[in-house]
Amino acid sequence: MLMFIFLTIVLALVGLAAVPLMLGVVPPNPYYGFPARSSAKNPELWTQVNRFGGRAVVVAVAVSAGASVTTRERSRSGTTSSPTLR
């Protein structure tokens, strides 16, 4: 249970950190965002790259959270074995 809560908090923080990138409100900087030399020279490209990266992180967080909840529910119900294929 404690691991599930910890994972949920970490996923929420990572997802929240990606939202400003996804919305394109973060200006080019060397500290926050996807670091690439070519995008650092062109602010428009930097914004496009980081908007895509922000969306990718939010999707990855959503998939991870869904997998975490599904795995937790399966382990609580006792159906941890995978079905056999015939």
Question: What would the pLDDT profile of 15-72 be if each residue is shown by its tens digit?
Answer: 999 999 999 999 888 888 887 777 778 889 889 999 999 999 999 999 999 998 888 7
pLDDT on residue 37: 75
pLDDT on residue 34: 83
Is 84 a domain residue?
no
Q: b/e for 30-69, b at 16 or more Cβ within 10 A?
A: eeebeeeeebbeeeeebbebbbeebeebbeebeebeeeee
Q: Give the number of C-alpha atoms closer than 13 A to the C-alpha of residue 1, restricted to the C-beta side.
A: 1
- Total domains in the chain come to 1
| Domain hosting residue 61, numbered range | 9-72
pLDDT higher for 83 or 56?
56
Is 32 a domain residue?
yes
Is 3 a domain residue?
no
Is 37 a domain residue?
yes
Question: pTM of the full predicted structure?
Answer: 0.76
Tokens of 53: 């990266």
